[in-house]
Amino acid sequence: MDTYSKLDSDAILSTLFPPTDKTKNTSSDSGISVHLHPSCSCRLFYQDKENPVFLSFLPEESKMFAETLIQNGINIFMITVNPYNPKKGQPTITALMSSLSKILEKIKECMADNKLTGKLFVNAKSIGSAFALELASNFPDEFKGVILESSVCDTIPFLEAAGVEKDNLGFSEDEGFNNLKKIEKIKLPTMFLHGSRDTLVAPALAEKLQASSGARTKQFHLVPGADHWSVAEAAGDLYYQTIKIFVDSVCGINTWRQRRRKFRKS
């Protein structure tokens, strides 16, 4: 599989997967470690085994994000790609994309092992949207819905805005992430969250991606004052409330009846 070989240059990979500050809000001391692939890390956070489950591709670990989702009744597999190591030439887009089917199978096995029975959603932030859309377009029957934050539209404008020099961008969109074509195929209920001040993916490009979505049920939320990385912070509690309402609606969950059932169990 060499579809993504044009993205596997040092210049692009070092920009997409830069070194991270492991002391910043990480989850390395909590959750359940799940081995999916040598190029990424994954931790499972769950509470009620019947709650919906997010398969989330995030640029960096966030214990706060995971714990707040849990408090809102959503379990999460938090997947982050390891920083790019030029000496080893890893990770690469090609290797990760070609491994997504195996990653999904391992997620399903882990759900079964931990007796998680909730519906599975694919969720992503920024560059993670490329992996989320690849999965959802190829395995739609495995997911109940899609939630995208600061998602990538056209590949080259995103990489240019991220700082990749034009000399390293001599390829077409068909040789890039091709997110527009992928999202056209996805009929699953889809939610978009985007910052009004995003300079990596302009709001107009986010709207273009939303307009191309093949979903009959879709929502687009533009968060005032937020940039590419601060959507959740700018929206505050409303961010999680909006996601929760969307997930409950897609799953057909009546929260009043659910609370009543749990009360009776106790």
Give the position of tokens 């920009």: 15
**Strand ranges (DSSP E) for 159-201?**
190-195
- Specify the pLDDT at position 189: 98
- Specify the pLDDT at position 2: 54
Terminal Cα distance for the chain, rounded: 52
- pLDDT tens for 188-246 read 999 999 999 999 999 999 999 999 999 999 999 999 999 999 999 999 999 999 999 99
Residues in the chain: 266
CB 54 within 8 A of CB 123: yes
- pLDDT tens for 75-108 read 999 999 999 999 988 999 999 999 999 999 999 9
Distance CA(188)–CA(218), nearest Å, equals 9
Strands 120-125 and 53-58: parallel
DSSP element (H, E) containing 112: helix 100-113
Domains of the chain: 45-77+100-265 (3.40.50.1820)
- Specify the pLDDT at position 22: 54
- Specify the pLDDT at position 253: 81
Does residue 23 register a pLDDT over 50? no
Give Rg (Cα) of the chain. Answer: 18
User: Model-level pTM greater than 0.85?
Assistant: yes
| Mean pLDDT (whole number) for 141-154 | 98
Nearest to 149 by CA among 252, 62, 50: 62
